[in-house]
């Protein structure tokens, strides 16, 4: 069950990467409309993004799912998607009545054009599911086969080059499924749409509640993608979000309910937290609360607010989820239809005002939600003495992260991490247990998603002192750190620290890699000392136990047949910067800048 949940969380995070392109698509499409700038070329540019969402989902999901977000997975997904869609197009059988309007006496060219138009129309409905499946397959294939070794006469096609080939063959299977069973797939999507849309108020309520509850684990992205990109059909365009921008007057029901909560309700909760803070602490917490409130009002990003009370008062968060469901019911009952390209914030509200239905009704509903949230949060915070920002006991306030501390680990793996005032990335890395503890790192809109070797090495209080809004542990080795909109930037800076941090306090005899003499004034790449690679291979269980070796910028990812044959303590004694057991059969050897040379030597040893 935990492995299934972990897999769904990775998929949910991967789905956020293609969704990140929607703001520019919506912006271009709206600004180009006659009621705004009246620039047809700009509108066409935005429409092009919406028309190719399937391809964007394929690339985004694959890159988001692949280890280190490697672009080779994105290339493989494009191959799989093109094979799937073009193969399905050939296999699709067009019903005779679909092109009957062309006439029996029509020329062959006219008939072929009608058939091609029909196939393009039907495939457009399935493009997003095809893209998501192609991306998932490419990501999984990359993680499984990017380090594969083939016989010497096929060696050119080994490693990462094998992944697009495998993805192409997988695309043939998808092409057969979509091409031969496209009517069944469309009927299934139609049945799902009718079931949800006919559920009326209960359906709206359930969607709103589930969206907020699942945000704890990050799985809300999955149900959002179903609602925004699959439900309903308007002239061949599916999904509440896509239909809204295509001009469907009934679209927007699965977006409108977010606006009262994000623009009015949660900012009111911030005001309640400010007013209930200790008087001497109000000025200190004002900057934080104003910042996260404005983020919610302007952009609709709410996780920084929600994680301030999610674990302090789970019952209060449950009420917040119920109120979100009620907002969907109220907006649907008033026939309010609002849409967004990114989220339910003021920017999207103003931009899409002229496309919305009854948009001014948001003001009275929002005012009601502002009063409701403010009163409820102030009452509960005071009544139950919740330690929201500004109400911590004296002396327990979180200070700024102290710079210059050293990462956790042995002397051989110690990394001096200095923290820039402009970025707390080094502080987060220290609190996460240092470089040896990080097995994988990715980011979605507001949080870091990590897999760590030792969960006990993660210092939650230090993460909060550095600026984290909350920490979630979905499974034993999974950690999610809620930061806000800067999560992706922090993740990038942490990756730079992981790839470029130099080792210190390492004596030559303990160091894994030794830099040879320079040549022509330029230092050569570090090389492993004689005999060390052989000892490393032996401690990994020998040639028979090593299935593949993948090289990254600073580490080797070794896939082994039997984890019990690997002597991890002995590997650590070799002077590596770190040894991480990502999965029972996946061993990460953290080496630093010389990883490529050591990986090559190890592969030659195994050949």
Query: How distant is the alpha carbon of residue 245 from its chain centre?
Result: 24
Neighbours of 44 (CB within 10 A): 13
Handedness of CA 383, 389, 391, 397 (dihedral sign): positive
Quick one: 302 exposed, middle or buried, by C-beta within 10 A (0-12, 13-18, 19+)? buried
Instruction: Verify whether residue 326 is a known catalytic residue.
Output: no
Query: How distant is the alpha carbon of residue 133 from its chain centre?
Result: 16
* 8 Å CB contact between 503 and 496: no
Catalytic residue among 444, 468, 487, 490: 444
Best CA proximity match to 189, nearest among 124, 228, 233, 249: 233
The conformation of residue 362, written as its DSSP 8-state character, comes to: H
Helix (H, G, I), strand (E, B) or coil at 475: strand
* 8 Å CB contact between 16 and 6: no
Neighbours of 522 (CB within 10 A): 6
**Residues in contact with 103: Cβ distance below 8 Å, sequence separation at least 6, in sequence order:** none
Instruction: For residues 374 and 378, give the distance between their C-alpha atoms in angstroms, rounded to a whole number.
Output: 6
With vertex at residue 459, the alpha carbon angle to CA 458 and CA 461, rounded to the nearest 5 degrees, is 150
Following DSSP, what letter does each residue of 242-269 receive, concatenated? HHHHTT-TT--HHHHTHHHIIIIIHHHH
| 453, HSE (Cβ side, Cα atoms, 13 Å) | 20
Q: Compute the 3-state secondary structure of the chain and give helix, strand, coil in percent, each to the nearest 5.
A: 60, 10, 30
Best CA proximity match to 65, nearest among 131, 126, 114: 131
* 8 Å CB contact between 132 and 80: no
**According to the 3-state scheme, what is the secondary structure of 403-468?**
CCCECCCCHHHCCECCCCCCCCHHHHHHHCCCHHHEEEEEECCCEEEEEECCHHHCCHHHHHHHCC
What residues are labeled active site? 444
């Amino acid at each position: 069950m935990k492995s299934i949940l972990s897999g769904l969380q990775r998929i949910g995070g991967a789905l956020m990467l293609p969704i990140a392109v929607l703001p520019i698509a919506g912006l271009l499409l709206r600004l180009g409309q006659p009621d705004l700038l009246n620039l047809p070329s700009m509108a066409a540019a935005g429409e092009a993004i919406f028309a190719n969402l399937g391809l964007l989902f394929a690339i985004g999901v694959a890159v988001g799912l692949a280890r280190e977000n490697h672009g080779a997975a994105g290339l493989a997904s494009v191959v799989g998607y093109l094979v799937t869609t073009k193969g399905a197009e050939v296999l699709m059988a067009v019903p005779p009545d679909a092109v009957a309007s062309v006439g029996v006496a029509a020329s062959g060219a006219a008939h072929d054009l009608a058939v091609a138009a029909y196939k393009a129309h039907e495939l457009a409905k399935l493009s997003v599911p095809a893209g998501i499946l192609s991306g998932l397959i490419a990501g999984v294939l990359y993680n499984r086969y990017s380090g594969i070794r083939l016989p010497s006469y096929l060696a050119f096609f080994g490693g990462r080059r094998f992944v697009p080939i495998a993805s192409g063959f997988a695309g043939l299977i998808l092409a057969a499924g979509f091409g031969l069973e496209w009517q069944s797939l469309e009927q299934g999507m139609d049945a799902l749409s009718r079931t949800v849309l006919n559920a009326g108020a209960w359906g709206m309520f359930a969607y709103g509640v589930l969206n907020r509850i699942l945000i704890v684990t990050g799985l809300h992205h999955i149900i959002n993608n179903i609602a925004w990109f699959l439900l309903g059909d308007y002239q061949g365009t599916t999904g509440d979000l896509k239909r809204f921008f295509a001009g469907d007057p009934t679209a927007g029901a699965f977006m409108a309910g977010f606006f009262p909560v994000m623009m009015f309700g949660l900012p009111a909760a911030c005001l309640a937290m400010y007013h209930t803070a200790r008087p001497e602490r109000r000025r200190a917490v004002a900057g934080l609360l104003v910042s996260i409130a404005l983020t919610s009002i302007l952009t609709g990003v709410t996780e920084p607010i929600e994680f301030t009370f999610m674990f302090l008062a789970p019952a209060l968060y449950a009420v917040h989820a119920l109120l979100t469901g009620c907002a969907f019911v109220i907006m649907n009952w008033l026939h309010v239809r609002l849409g967004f390209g990114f989220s339910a914030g003021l920017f999207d509200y103003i931009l899409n005002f002229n496309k919305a239905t009854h948009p001014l009704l948001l003001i009275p509903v929002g005012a009601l939600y502002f009063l409701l949230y403010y009163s409820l949060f102030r009452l509960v915070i005071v009544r139950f003495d919740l330690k929201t920002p500004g109400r911590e006991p004296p002396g327990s306030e979180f200070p700024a992260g102290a710079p210059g501390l050293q990462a956790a680990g042995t002397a051989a793996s110690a990394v001096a991490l200095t923290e820039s005032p402009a970025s707390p990335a080094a502080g987060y890395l220290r609190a996460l247990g240092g470089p040896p503890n990080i097995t994988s790192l990715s980011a979605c809109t507001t949080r870091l998603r990590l897999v760590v070797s030792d969960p006990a090495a993660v210092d939650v209080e230090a993460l909060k002192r550095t600026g984290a809004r909350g920490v979630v542990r979905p499974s034993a080795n999974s950690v999610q750190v809620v930061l806000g909109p800067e999560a992706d930037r922090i993740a990038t800076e942490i990756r730079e620290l992981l790839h470029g941090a130099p080792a210190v306090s390492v004596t030559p005899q303990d160091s894994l890699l030794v830099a040879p003499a320079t040549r022509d004034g330029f230092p050569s790449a570090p090389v492993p000392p004689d005999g060390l690679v052989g000892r490393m291979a032996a401690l990994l269980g020998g040639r028979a136990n090593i299935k593949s070796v993948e090289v990254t910028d600073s580490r080797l990812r070794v896939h082994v047949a039997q984890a019990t044959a690997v002597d991890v303590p002995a590997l650590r004694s070799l002077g590596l910067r770190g040894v991480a057991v990502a999965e029972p059969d996946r061993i990460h050897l953290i080496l630093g800048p010389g990883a490529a040379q050591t990986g090559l030597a190890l592969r030659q040893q195994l050949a």
